[in-house]
Amino acid sequence: MVNQYELTDRQKEIILRIPLFRGISEELKNNFFDRIDYSFTPLKKGNIIIEQGTTCNHLHILLSGTLDVNIIDASGNDIKVEDLIGPRSFATPHLFDGNNIFPATFTVVEDGLLMRITKESAFKLISSEPEMLRNFLRLTGNCNVCTVSRLRILAYKNIRSRFSYYLLEYKRDENDMITIAHNQTQLAEFINVTRPALAREIRSMIDEGIIEMSGKNIRIANYKALLQNI
């Protein structure tokens, strides 16, 4: 089912390359779009496409564009969770959850195209294709890990602690050099602080010899001091 939109061969190729569908059989690739019920929604900058608290009845694939994901916590604070950049699937943990409610609001920040596959046809497809089932479970687990990590950052009360924990999440080995995913504006939103306050804290940590920073590249100069911040 196509909603006033016909996929190009290139778009079909992009969809089949996203991690959720990676490694599926050639037979499934050949009849994939005949086995699912799907529709498309053009995305316009500034539009809210999903509101926190609404029911998740579709598998969502962001074919192109960028979405801003925010939650309203129990205190009424608007907290940025992440930016979603297509092509990718999203919100997979909520599709078959007993309480299949979106925990966040999704707002378009860059025009694009959203594909929705019905829950029923997604279930039939996933349950009949072992590789796709493995992909789905892996993505669901990764998404939950990201959510837990974000909540842990926000549990810290001051800017330095949040930023230090963020850096330590990127440090996976003995290498002191890390490359973070966010610029300073995005990072301030991600750890829920103002950009000027974050900039001051980063400057202080540089002056104290804890870190060295050039753009998104950061060297942890004093690992022990960084650990003491959390």
What is the model's pLDDT at position 147? 65
Residue 43, φ and ψ in degrees, nearest 5: -105, 130
SS3 state of residue 23: coil
Q: What is the pLDDT of residues 60-71, one digit of tens each?
A: 999 999 999 988
SS3 state of residue 176: coil
- Residue 27 token pair: 């037979």
Strand 58-72 to strand 38-43: parallel, antiparallel, or no bridges (unpaired)?
A: unpaired
What is the model's pLDDT at position 86? 94
Q: Is the pTM of this model over 0.85?
A: no
Nearest to 78 by CA among 68, 92, 86: 68
Q: Could you tell me which residue, 39 or 99, shows the higher pLDDT?
A: 39
What is the model's pLDDT at position 145? 55
Q: Quick check: 149 pLDDT over 80? A: no
Q: What is the pLDDT of residues 177-204, one digit of tens each?
A: 999 888 999 899 888 899 999 999 999 9
Q: What is the pLDDT of residues 158-180, one digit of tens each?
A: 999 999 999 988 876 778 899 98
Nearest to 34 by CA among 63, 62, 7, 57: 7
| 1.10.10.10, 1.20.1110.10, 2.40.50.140, 2.60.120.10: CATH of 9-146 | 2.60.120.10
Q: Could you tell me which residue, 97 or 208, shows the higher pLDDT?
A: 208
Instruction: Tell me the residue type at 138.
Output: R
How do the domains of the chain map onto residue ranges? 9-146, 156-228
Q: Could you tell me which residue, 205 or 145, shows the higher pLDDT?
A: 205
Which of the four pLDDT bands, split at 50, 70 and 90, describes residue 2? very low
Whether domain 156-228 has CATH 1.10.10.10: the reply is yes
